[in-house]
Amino acid sequence: MAKPSYLTAPRKSANLPKGIPYIVGNEAAERFSYYGMRTILVIFMTQYLKNAHGELSPMTDAEAKVWYHDFMAWAYFFPILGAILSDAFLGKYRTIIGLSIVYCLGHLALALDETRTGLTVGLSLIAIGAGGIKPCVTAHVGDQFGASNNHLLSKVFGWFYWSINFGAFISTLLTPYLLNQYGPHWAFGIPGILMFLATIVFWLGRRQFVHIPAGGKTFFKETFSPEGLRAMGKLVGLYVFIIIFWSVYEQNGSAWVLQAKKMDLNWAGVEWLPSQIQAINPILVLIYIPLFTYVLYPAVNKIFTLNPLRKIGIGMFLTVPAVLVIAWIESQLIAGKTPTIAWQLLAYVFMTAAEVMIYQTGLELSYTQSPNSMKSIIMSFYLLTISAGNKL
């Protein structure tokens, strides 16, 4: 019998799985590419978009917001496609590699074509690629661990999440500068190059990864089994509230950027670009997660039990001051004043705190309340709340 090319079960080892550095490196580069592209979308559509004759033909602010949120909705709808392809047909590795190539082609279209045609093709391919790999990558991390090294899993997820936010922070600062100084070709091209490198890094790790075979028909039987349907039913009510949160939160990539264009962008001795302000979000996430986990949550638990539903409730409450700050800024702009961009930073302080309390808690509940055979599909349904929030 021929020896299989790839591992299908974790090695018996107390050490870190050999494939993990490839996954973390891939994720950092992929998140750089995604957030770098997303950060400049609204500015590109309202200031740089051209027609078929090469003449400037920008969108209105209202039209750009519609395009932005439609893209986001599709990007968080396609995780369902990725979960089905991965768990039923192709397995995680082949799904991630195949959709990463689609993802790269989307970046290429944006970098080469500054018209609505290039925008449509590019965003469509990126939505399919980025969305499709989302539920697969996290589950692929878990597949690498066995009983002998499972104690390292939480530490690796910490590195994994850190890599996401580090990539997001760097790209959110860099790509607006590239767009302003060198134009769309470089601003979209650099994220595309990073996505290509992310794909190569992941491919290089193929011999080190554990490849769990796809489930085939078993996947569909388990998904629509009584246990599977009960798991989904328990989470539906929670997801309704989370959809409302995302409908508010996702404005920071569109309405908040357009608002920043009208504000005084000189702050802390630096002249910021409107879309660069979004970089405060990943930095706050990196600060808040250890702060909440090791300081805030233990302190609150001494007063009352901070269960997952209470965390989500507090998170929903924290969105209110963020919205009030943004509304106050808008009233000042309407009155003819030019408030400092520091006011938006205050809104980010509240909104990012809400994000950490709601997103992380919802992620945990979705994972723990779903059967082992359904974790990818349940995670894709959780990501669907972001899609629905963008359509509200």
In the chain the domains, ranked by start, together with CATH numbers, are: 20-391 (1.20.1250.20)
The pTM is what? 0.89
- Hey, what are 114's tokens? 């500054």
Position 164, amino acid: I
- Hey, what are 335's tokens? 């009155």
| Among 285, 246, 265, 244, CA closest to 344 | 265
- List of residues 6+ apart from 252 with CB closer than 8 A: 278, 281, 348, 351
Backbone dihedral angles phi then psi of residue 216, each to the nearest 5 degrees: 65, -135
- Hey, what are 355's tokens? 């994000």
Name beta bridge partners: 267: 270
| Whole-number pLDDT of residue 2 | 47
C-beta separation of 144 from 6 below 8 A: no
- List of residues 6+ apart from 194 with CB closer than 8 A: 29, 30, 32, 33, 36, 171
Q: Which CA distances in Å does 344 have to 278, 297, 328?
A: 10, 26, 10
Give per-residue burial for 288-325: e unless 16+ CB within 10 Å, then b.
bbeebeeeeeeeeeeeeebebeebbebbbebbebbeeb
- List of residues 6+ apart from 166 with CB closer than 8 A: 28, 282, 286
| Among 314, 320, 318, 284, CA closest to 297 | 314
Q: Which CA distances in Å does 134 have to 8, 101, 103, 338?
A: 22, 14, 12, 40
Backbone dihedral angles phi then psi of residue 225, each to the nearest 5 degrees: -75, 165
Q: In whole angstroms, give the CA distance from residue 171 to residue 165.
A: 10
Q: Cα 61 from chain centroid?
A: 23
Q: In whole angstroms, give the CA distance from residue 236 to residue 382.
A: 9
Q: In whole angstroms, give the CA distance from residue 22 to residue 8.
A: 17
Q: What is the crossing angle of helices 375-391 and 61-75, to 10°?
A: 170
Q: What is the pLDDT along the chain (392 residues), one digit of tens a residue?
A: 445 578 777 888 878 889 999 998 999 999 999 999 999 999 999 999 999 999 999 999 999 999 999 999 999 999 999 989 988 889 899 999 999 999 999 999 999 999 999 999 999 999 999 999 988 887 788 788 888 887 787 677 777 777 888 889 999 999 999 999 999 999 999 999 999 999 999 999 999 998 888 877 777 777 777 777 777 777 888 888 899 999 999 999 999 999 999 999 999 888 999 999 999 999 999 899 889 888 998 999 999 988 888 999 999 999 999 999 999 999 999 999 999 999 999 999 999 999 989 987 887 787 777 776 676 778 888 889 999 999 88
307 SS3 class: coil
Question: Tokens 């028909």 appear where?
Answer: 217
- List of residues 6+ apart from 343 with CB closer than 8 A: 263, 325, 328, 329
- List of residues 6+ apart from 359 with CB closer than 8 A: none
Q: In whole angstroms, give the CA distance from residue 315 to residue 361.
A: 10
- Hey, what are 258's tokens? 């357009």
CB atoms inside a 10 Å sphere around CB 218: 12
C-beta separation of 21 from 175 below 8 A: no
Q: In whole angstroms, give the CA distance from residue 341 to residue 339.
A: 7
